[in-house]
Amino acid sequence: GESVGLHLPTLSVQEGDNSIINCAYSNSASDYFIWYKQESGKGPQFIIDIRSNMDKRQGQRVTVLLNKTVKHLSLQIAATQPGDSAVYFCAEKGRDDKIIFGKGTRLHILP
């Protein structure tokens, strides 16, 4: 069945370093992927998305990479800041419009 998973439940990164959060998906028919950030006590917030016809997309300090061959998605955050501390979710949208979220990775920023 469909599943979207993250490789690590928590990730600790030194402030100023780059963060890489990984995600694996199993549905090869999914055509759209999204990364969300959820801060404590708040709802998920859109960060960046990518369609299946792309392999890289860049935003402000964030880059998403999509490797369809191995069904892997990653979120890279450049120069990690204290405000980046949150839980990060990847999500996929299949052609039936259902959205499936991964379980999340908690990003800790070390001073």
Partner 1 sequence: EAQVTQNPRYLITVTGKKLTVTCSQNMNHEYMSWYRQDPGLGLRQIYYSMNVEVTDKGDVPEGYKVSRKEKRNFPLILESPSPNQTSLYFCASSFGGRGTDTQYFGPGTRLTVL
Cβ proximity of 79 and 15 under 8 Å: no
User: Pick from 45, 58, 67, 81: which binds partner 1 (CB under 8 A)?
Assistant: 45
User: Pick from 22, 61, 62, 101: which binds partner 1 (CB under 8 A)?
Assistant: 101
Cβ proximity of 98 and 1 under 8 Å: no
User: Pick from 79, 98, 108, 110: which binds partner 1 (CB under 8 A)?
Assistant: 98
Amino acid at 93: K
24 forms part of the interface with partner 1 (CB under 8 A): no
How big is the CA angle at 68 (ends 66 and 73), to the nearest 5 degrees? 35
Site residues, partner 1 (CB under 8 A): 32, 34, 41-46, 49, 51, 89, 91, 97-104
